[in-house]
Amino acid sequence: MHARNAGSRNASVKAVAVIGALSLLLAACGGGSSKSSNSGGSSGGSSCSGGAKTLEIADIDEFSGAVNIYSGPAYDGAQLAVDEINAAGGIKAICGDKLSLKKFDTQSNPDQGVPQATKAVADNPVAIIGGSQGATVLAASNVTHRKGIPWLTTALSSNQITDRGYTDLFMAGDGHSTATALLALLKGITPTLGLPTNAKVAYISSQGTFGVSSHDSWKALPDNPYQTVSDITYPATTTDYSAVATRVASVDADIILAGCYPGDCVALDRLWKTTVKPKAKVVVVLGASTASLVTALNTLADGLLLAGSPQPGQAGLPPSFQTMYDAYKAKFGSAPSTSSFPGYINVKFIAKALESIKTTDPKKLTAAIHSTTIDQTEGNVYATPKTIAWNDRGTYTEQTTSWVQIENADAKIVFPDVSKQTTVKPYTAG
């Protein structure tokens, strides 16, 4: 009787040990759960019998409302990258875990930044992308920063965001980097247009976060040879731009720099082309896209200068551009736009960093993203720089910006020279 009981006890102990070992094995890969977790994450290696998980990337952006023009293409670019990574085996260092995207719509309303960020972090995403409007990111990133989840925004944005020193917030560029790129453009094109090296500038900007940031960064530039002879601002709630356009047109300036949002840029250019006609030979709009301008204005947009994106036939582009371009068109039925490319590249950054650290721990992931680079064989589709890296501010060490001029309702690259498709022409008002 005692011998039988002892044997039964030994068998029970062995069974518990086996179950415990299996539990630990399954825990190494999350037990096959389909829910992502950033509380330490999977460790990769050989203990992946529990199966692959899904690692969520939250996309907090303006999917509806007045400034939704950027969010859709950025999401599509990110989705293309997710599909490529998953088709290639997922995050191989973490049990082949697959990536997924989930939208959180801030509705073009900065007041929605905090509630949507709160919903996003409750889902325990491994990382966050999106963020087309500076004021929204400014509010929402306070929530994500407290959780330590890295956020890679998909638009150039405000210095107010980067100046806080949040190491877990990344963006391709802020006001400082945009102003530096703008100065390089003007130095490159003003000789062609016969303008003096100290040409006169009229600066017009929205009082929104983007407009203020772009203006202040321009004024703070060291060694800026241009004379800013007029500073004109308007409330972000403005709907009638007649008075603003008239004031700018009355200024004796060679160059107009406009820190405007897409709808503002459209309204101002329409007035300058049809009603009040400035004398300036250069008009640069900083917050618009080619699509937003051409859709609304057609050839009335001709002559405007703005930041552009890579285009088929552009000199210096790597093979990865055409591959991404063709795949995007095949999947979504249209060509990628300016915001599609950072959406695509940001996911590539997240995936490469995850592979390097073999965990989803948010602090480790943030540190890994800072040290991660993406070259032209890994998802960088730009002509320059050949390798994208982050500086201490969480912006690109070298800007990818090319500048285009709209000509016959089409965008042609005019700067830098390595990518130039046409020679810049003077802006003509009507």
Are 195 and 281 within 8 A, CB to CB? yes
Residues 384-399: what's their mean pLDDT? 92
Query: Is the pLDDT higher at 16 or at 251?
Result: 251
Task: Kindly report, residue by residue over 355-383, the tens digit of the pLDDT.
Answer: 999 999 999 999 999 999 999 999 999 99
Q: Please give the share of the chain, as a percent, with pLDDT higher than 70.
A: 88
Given pLDDT bands bounded at 50, 70 and 90, which one contains residue 37?
low
CA distance 56 to 73: 19
Matching residue, tokens 């201490």: 392
The pLDDT value recorded for residue 47 is 66
CA Rg, the chain, in Å?
A: 25
The pLDDT value recorded for residue 38 is 62
Chain centroid, CA 78 distance in Å: 10
Query: Is the pLDDT higher at 6 or at 189?
Result: 189
Task: Kindly report, residue by residue over 310-334, the tens digit of the pLDDT.
Answer: 889 888 899 999 999 999 999 999 9
Given pLDDT bands bounded at 50, 70 and 90, which one contains residue 27?
very low
Average pLDDT, the chain: 88
Structure token pair of residue 266: 């459209």
Residues 5-32: what's their mean pLDDT? 43
Query: Is the pLDDT higher at 402 or at 2?
Result: 402
Matching residue, tokens 């007029």: 230
Query: Is the pLDDT higher at 169 or at 47?
Result: 169
Query: Is the pLDDT higher at 14 or at 88?
Result: 88
Task: Name which of 246, 279, 239 is nearest 261 in CA terms.
Answer: 239
| Tally of CB atoms within 10 A around 243 | 13
**109 φψ region: left (φ > 0), alpha (ψ -120 to 50), beta (else):** beta
Task: Kindly report, residue by residue over 138-197, the tens digit of the pLDDT.
Answer: 999 999 999 999 999 987 667 788 888 999 999 887 788 889 999 999 999 999 999 999
Are 110 and 158 within 8 A, CB to CB? no
Structure token pair of residue 161: 């965001």
Task: Kindly report, residue by residue over 330-355, the tens digit of the pLDDT.
Answer: 999 999 988 999 999 999 999 999 99
The pLDDT value recorded for residue 401 is 80
**Type of residue at 254:** D
Task: Kindly report, residue by residue over 228-283, the tens digit of the pLDDT.
Answer: 999 999 998 999 999 999 999 999 999 999 999 889 999 999 999 999 999 999 99
Domains of the chain: 54-174+317-388 (3.40.50.2300), 177-312+402-419 (3.40.50.2300)
The pLDDT value recorded for residue 34 is 47
Residues 3-30: what's their mean pLDDT? 42
The pLDDT value recorded for residue 124 is 97
Q: Please give the share of the chain, as a percent, with pLDDT higher than 90.
A: 70
